[in-house]
Amino acid sequence: MNFHRRTVLGGLASLAVPLPALVKPAGAADKVKIGFLLKTMQEERYQRDKAAFLAKAKALGAEVVFDSANNDEQAQLAAFENMLSRGARAIVLQPVNTGTAGGMVTSAHKSGVKVIGYDAMLLNGPLDAMVMQDSWAVGKLQAEAMVAWLKAKYGSVKGNVVLIRGQPGDSNANTMSSGVLEVLKANPGLKLVADQSHEGWSPDKAMATIENLLVKSGNKIDAIICNNSGMARGVIAALDAQGLASAEKVFVAGSDADLVNIQYVAQGKQAVDIWKKINPLAESAAEIAVTLATHPDKDAKSLVKADRVINNGAVDVPTLVTPVVLVDKNNLNQTIIAEGFYTHKQVYGK
């Protein structure tokens, strides 16, 4: 894919151009049906995605058919076909397999149904629009924080680094990882001792990977960067068994800002996590879905004011990009808590 990158300054990425008010609340007579299909509800964040999407769609007068697929490609295909049969006029899709989901889009188009990608760009399919965070910026923020941590600890940027990826071949995992690898390439003192993908974004498999690497290396791992928060929890569990679950001993980065991970950051077990602001992502997706569903004869490019255009191997996809924020122990109160994502009591227990 041809991702047009933007520079991220000061550890805070605010990349989205505000979405204009494309739609107005619909009356009962013109209620439109849209679908929202997530790949999983495994991670805590997806409860927020679902709630924000449903609330926005309801405010716009739309009816939502919701489902998730437990990271199962065939289950997602069945759910997608069910949404088509139930009369959804636009479907927001977070694909389980970004490499093969294009066939679902082609099938939807035959029925005159628009498809909006969500969170992870599917490849080689005629997607109508896309709403996502800047995944490359996520990886870059993680790796830049690691570089600063290593320099503070050793006086120079050196050390053994592990990259924990999500689903093999997933476009989101690959793009996040590319941001990490770019920083590694610019710092020759860093040694990438493992770069491992994990089926189903599994925390247990991530834990097993780190357990094995700790044995093989004699615990000589300096930094571990994970594509999501769930796998970071698995990593922390493996480190904890060796007395290494400390942000002073091993740098660990996650991404999704699940509550447990933010608690780990506050406790000093995990160095950083990336907060992907959920409400702008889910609400923008709902707005676009309603807009495309109520204007079936218009091209999406004429209706969606995109931040950028991304070629997914088949078409140029108008894409909205929403903010990501690096969270560490120093800025936790000023970011996640100040903006109401979690309360002080949730994070600190008091």
Tens digit of pLDDT for each residue in 243-284? 999 999 999 999 999 999 999 999 999 999 999 999 999 999
Integer Cα distance of 249 and 282 in angstroms: 37
CB 94 within 8 A of CB 121: no
- Which residue has 């970004």 as its token pair? 98
pLDDT of residue 30: 64
Integer Cα distance of 177 and 182 in angstroms: 9
Provide CB contacts within 8 A for 274, sequence distance 6+: 138, 141, 142, 253, 254, 255, 256, 257, 324, 325, 326, 327
pLDDT of residue 350: 82
Q: Residues of the chain whose pLDDT is less than 70?
A: 1-30
How many other β-carbons are positioned within 10 Å of the β-carbon of residue 251? 24
CB 278 within 8 A of CB 53: no
Task: Tell me which H or E stretch contains 317.
Answer: strand 316-322
What's the pTM?
Answer: 0.83
